[in-house]
Structure 1
Amino acid sequence: MTSEMSGNLAQRNGGDLVIETLEALGAKTVFGIPGQHALGLFDALSRSDLHFVSSRVENNSAFAADGYSRATGEVGVLFLSTGPGALTSLAGLQEAYATGVPIVVVASQIPLDGLGARRKGMLHQLDDQKASAANVTKSQRTVHHASGIPSAIQDAWADAITVPQGPVWVEVPQDVLLAPVLVPPVVDALAEAYEHPPRVELVNEAVRWLSEARRPVIVAGGGVRRARAEAELLAVAELLGAPVICSPGGNGAFPWNHELSLQSWVEDRHATEVLEDADVLIVVGSALGEVTSNYFTLEPRGHLIQIDAEPRVLESNRPALGIRADAKAALEYLRDALVKVEGGVNADWHGNTPQQVVSETLAKVAERLDSQDLAKERKFMADIRAAVPAGMQTFWDMTISAYWGWSCWDSKDGQFHSAQGAGGLGYGYPSAIGGALGLQVAGASAAEARVLAVSGDGSSMYSIAELATAKQHNAPVTWLIVDDGGYGILREYMVGAFGKATATELARPDFVALAESFGVPARLVDHTNIREALEESFAADGPNVVVVQTLLKMFAPTHL
């Protein structure tokens, strides 16, 4: 080895091993905020081709990495500093964990000799930082030697992409990041997902039930979308003649206007009754949880088949034939087996066809909405849908508009993303920034990468600092803020339950002036002009904001 080569290699450290491994695994973009113990990591970042997006709050960095992954289908990467920075990210990681979004988190740590000790004056120290992440990540690792960094990150990456997918945690102490290394640069890293094929005896039993079914119905959850199993779902539904309803996470897994589509009206009692009347109900990629079960009012009377990649989900809310499998693998098996059923499956809904059941149910849903004085809300959502290009991805915060969107939004050729997993506020805008920048890094033009974020005035304040991020990176995000002067959905819940609302009213800024102070164009429009305002904003360059001051109501699940 020449002295020149030795000198170049000696300049590398543990931080370089982190960066090199991530690049070898295919990472392109990193989200996060620098911190004292992570300086070696960020110095190494400066010697790489990774695109770094610096958010203003770590929780929003986690949301951005989540949005990046959902929009691109790639693994999100998040860099965190020790202690307060790491802890601040946890609510964002909870959403990724609940929704099955793959993220590799690299968090710094105090020096090795301080781990497990209560040394006086150790900045940012936690008693057990890794334990703090245990509730919101699939796996956690601490690296004690620089030479162990590549393997730890590679193993974590494999965990993240193995179904059920989710965020994983790797922490590297400050001195390990700074430790000089003489090993050659990492040029190759392979992380493969572990296979979890469905058990043959279970899917064969499912096929037997389905071959004898007369009223099969399918609930499609977020697992179908994550597995990219839309084509397989469509094939199974058509072979069975089974109506399909999508959960909020599954929105877009099945064509909205298909003759078998019950769309996403899971919070409607008429749709719930169809699920209850099924002689075989197939739940794919969903826990059949609170919202999808219409707040646990669903009482199936027939057989229940539940397919999910996460074992703890199976039969967690209902006894079922539980099949642990990726949605795509299970649906492929069902499709191939059902093709061979002699005579096919002959659906018969008490003398009606499944198509008639679907059309009649959707008519009942429309009639119920007609009876509830919701013309303003329905037009508002329809105007947004009309303005949004068919292929645009949308990101929704926990706000009344999103609650409507869970049921009424036709994803068309785009994708619908919301915080329905954990339900934390502040998801919409930072995740949209991550999604838009990810699409750009993947090669989309600014116009093709433009996305829509939707927030309420309450939830928008959780992420208002990210206007600086959007401006700094010229992110093509249009942010719609629906300002109703408070936590609107909580106001409705409290009035419904107690006759009055408490602590739901909010002082809020002049959102237009605030956005403009960041150099982000903004406008205040009437709710009747939302379509025109959005269309103009979508045609612009970089970030912009549209504010609507209006009070929206939620629909009731059934007309009493």
Structure 2
Amino acid sequence: MTALPANDSLTEAKTAPAPKTAKQTGAHAVVRTLEALGVERVFGYPGGAIMPVYDALTGSSLQHILVRHEQAAAFAADAQARITGKAGVCLATSGPGATNLLTGIANAYMDSVPMIILTGQVPSGLMGTDAFQEVDVFGMSMPVVKHSIIIRDPMRIPEMIAEAFEIAEGGRPGPVLIDLPKDVLQAEAYPTLPPEPRPAAGPSRASDADVAAATALLTQSQRPVLYIGGGVALGRAVDAVRDFMDRTGIPAVATLKGLGCPHPDAENFLGMLGMHGGRAANVAVDECDLLVCCGARFDDRATGRLDSFAKGARIIHMDADIAEIGKLRAADAAIAGDIADALARMDPGYLDIDPWRETCRERKARHAFRYDAPGNGVFAPAMLKELSEAAGDDFIAACDVGQHQMWVAQHCRFSRPESHLTSAGLGAMGYGLPAGIGAAMERPDAKVVTISGDGSIMMNIQELATARRYSVPIRILLLDNASLGLVRQWQEYFFDQNFSEIDLYDNPDFAEVAHAFGIEAFTVHSRDEVPGAIDRLLNARGPILAHVLIDPRENVWPLVPPGASNADMMED
């Protein structure tokens, strides 16, 4: 195998500053504004309409990461934002460059991730004429952005980009698209840079009356459950939730995005609820008389059939976004605003619910996952559990979508919510590899592991080149069952075993594919190889890929059938 040039020499060859004239353009204003706002890294792919920005990037302090597909730029920026809480930045050219970003933009919108998307556009005079590589990305993206901007005056570039960051990071975070006509980027301009970035406005403070009403419901309850969603992490309320659980002793469950908010070892944490949640969590919600919804939105994957979800319970709904309160389920007590502040003010003491606590803990023990699967094949849930425990608090999983995504949620240990990066609301295959790259570049000290399946990895496998180019310290755990496993499972149980277009029998040898990209890789065939594989993965500098062969008949359990109550779970 021919060795690629070392990373340092390659980077120097690609980014050596070119001589520049004193003329400043709109494109220079874009770059200088990003620098002034504290941006250090952007992900992108060049092309005609965005080329002036790439010309201005040369010699700047910004580190540009050249991905191999624009979708990967959005996913990588998304992951960086989830790690830092600050808006990630991606850029692409007009036409197909912009449309290739749309899935990543929708992913950030669905999961409330702050992101700035810079797209090149044809010159202003050609907009609306069906010019080469012209698409109305402003209009196309409107359903999946928090805000959109077309900048038509180069002198306003700094103020409008600064405003975009404030919008993306403030309130309920989300993506903001900035469309940049080429003539605006090329125009001579010497605008004043924005002042120091202003901190995002904090959420409002709930009234004393609302907090008192919620506290009263808690003190009256005999079977309360705390229902934790992704809004807890977005609202910087993780520590407040953990403190509230300790002070009250309330049993708690979490959504897919809520994992990592409660401490994973907390005795009253019952695990994930919902379609692939644990029995202890789902039954507790089904039997509770008070559901304290904290930063969750009653998503269908969490609730199952909504009219049977916590059917006998009163509802306390806490969320920074007032639009979520009462949207799907009426609240008996509503707290809109700062979740952390409201939890700190809700002080009912240690709840007098010992019988309920003991029932929940007993169910948690009785229905704990088992890892003693028969045979010598690799049992994916056990391997994932061992991997996360071996990595400890440094573990960050960048997970793709499919059976492996559910196994990760069920069996991995997450010490903080930013340790679990997953496409939750959109469910976008291909997220894992670019997200892992974005996370590992932001946290090179952590044990960042992309966990993917043989279906998902092929969606953005070209990003192995990005991982190699920048020597990204990423570990890739590829679970290969030669099928689209989650689709196959549904076809098995809900479509009369009509297995339609799920067979991936002709997968390549993924270890050899990684070798072709210049990446260390190996294959795991049997259970006795797992300890050595985990050790090799976690102790490698990366990038490194472990190709793990698993049983194509293995399913994810439990499973709530479509249209059923969460209490009606199917189990193996």
TM-score, with length taken from structure 1: 0.89
Are the aligned partners of 2:149 and 2:178 in contact in 1 as well (CA < 8 Å)? yes
Are the aligned partners of 2:72 and 2:434 in contact in 1 as well (CA < 8 Å)? yes
Residues 457-505 of structure 1, C-alpha deviations (whole Å, 9 max, x = no match): 0100011000000001110011111111121110001111122210111
Amino acid across the alignment from 1:382: K
Question: Structure 1: any 5+ residue segments left out of the alignment?
Answer: 1-6, 441-447
Offset at 1:72? Answer: 2.7
Aligned to 1:433: 437
Pair 1:23-2:35 in alignment: yes
Q: 1:346 aligns with which of 327, 347, 351?
A: 351
Q: Distance in 2 between matches of 1:559 and 1:106?
A: 46
Amino acid across the alignment from 1:347: D
Aligned to 1:502: 500
Aligned to 1:290: 300
Pair 1:458-2:455 in alignment: yes
Q: 1:252 aligns with which of 260, 267, 288?
A: 260
Task: Show the 5 A alignment for 1:380-419.
Answer: 380-412=383-415, 415-419=419-423
Aligned to 2:3: none
Q: Distance in 2 between matches of 1:273 and 1:385?
A: 27
Aligned to 1:422: 426
Aligned to 1:112: 124
Q: 1:358 to 1:9 in 2, by over 3 A?
A: farther
Amino acid across the alignment from 2:341: E
Helix, strand or coil at the partner of 2:119: strand
Aligned to 2:173: 165
Q: Distance in 2 between matches of 1:225 and 1:348?
A: 27
Offset at 1:385? Answer: 2.6
Pair 1:537-2:532 in alignment: no
Residues 136-179 of structure 1, C-alpha deviations (whole Å, 9 max, x = no match): 21100100010111111111101111121111111110010111
Offset at 1:198? Answer: 3.9
Helix, strand or coil at the partner of 1:476: coil
Offset at 1:402? Answer: 1.5
Offset at 1:261? Answer: 1.1
Offset at 1:183? Answer: 3.6
Q: 1:370 to 1:524 in 2, by over 3 A?
A: closer
Q: 1:197 aligns with which of 204, 216, 219?
A: 204
Helix, strand or coil at the partner of 1:36: coil
TM-score, with length taken from structure 2: 0.88
Are the aligned partners of 1:67 and 1:431 in contact in 2 as well (CA < 8 Å)? yes
Pair 1:79-2:61 in alignment: no
Pair 1:55-2:67 in alignment: yes
Offset at 1:187? Answer: 6.3
Residues 413-470 of structure 1, C-alpha deviations (whole Å, 9 max, x = no match): 6711111121010011100000111224xxxxxxx14410011001000110000000
Helix, strand or coil at the partner of 1:70: helix
Q: Distance in 1 between matches of 2:320 and 2:295?
A: 7
Offset at 1:310? Answer: 2.8
Helix, strand or coil at the partner of 1:94: helix
Amino acid across the alignment from 1:314: I
Offset at 1:262? Answer: 0.8
Aligned to 1:69: 81
Q: Distance in 2 between matches of 1:370 and 1:516?
A: 34
Aligned to 1:11: 23
Q: 1:149 aligns with which of 149, 154, 157?
A: 157
Helix, strand or coil at the partner of 1:134: helix
Aligned to 1:308: 319
Q: Distance in 2 between matches of 1:371 and 1:331?
A: 42
Are the aligned partners of 2:155 and 2:190 in contact in 1 as well (CA < 8 Å)? no
Helix, strand or coil at the partner of 2:471: coil
Are the aligned partners of 1:272 and 1:294 in contact in 2 as well (CA < 8 Å)? no
Offset at 1:8? Answer: 8.4
Are the aligned partners of 1:25 and 1:191 in contact in 2 as well (CA < 8 Å)? no
Q: Distance in 2 between matches of 1:219 and 1:379?
A: 27
Are the aligned partners of 2:325 and 2:336 in contact in 1 as well (CA < 8 Å)? no
Amino acid across the alignment from 2:180: V
Q: Distance in 2 between matches of 1:532 and 1:367?
A: 23
Q: Distance in 1 between matches of 2:162 and 2:265?
A: 42
Aligned to 1:357: 359
Offset at 1:265? Answer: 4.5
Q: 1:399 to 1:532 in 2, by over 3 A?
A: farther
Q: Distance in 1 between matches of 2:326 and 2:200?
A: 25
Offset at 1:295? Answer: 5.8
Aligned to 2:290: 280
Tell me which stretches of 4 or more aligned residues in structure 1 moved more than 3 Å.
7-10, 294-297, 321-326, 367-378, 557-560
Q: Distance in 2 between matches of 1:431 and 1:455?
A: 11
Question: Structure 2: any 5+ residue segments left out of the alignment?
Answer: 1-18, 560-568
Q: 1:513 to 1:370 in 2, by over 3 A?
A: closer
Q: 1:491 aligns with which of 488, 491, 494?
A: 488
Q: Percent identity?
A: 27
- The CA RMSD measured in Å over matched residues stands at 2.5
Q: Distance in 2 between matches of 1:113 and 1:189?
A: 34
Helix, strand or coil at the partner of 1:106: strand
Are the aligned partners of 2:235 and 2:340 in contact in 1 as well (CA < 8 Å)? no
Are the aligned partners of 1:437 and 1:449 in contact in 2 as well (CA < 8 Å)? no
Q: Using the TM superposition, name which of 35-44 and 375-384 deviates more.
A: 375-384
Q: Distance in 1 between matches of 2:29 and 2:474?
A: 34
Offset at 1:367? Answer: 7.4
Helix, strand or coil at the partner of 2:455: helix
Residues 200-249 of structure 1, C-alpha deviations (whole Å, 9 max, x = no match): 14333222322333322101111112233221002222232211111110
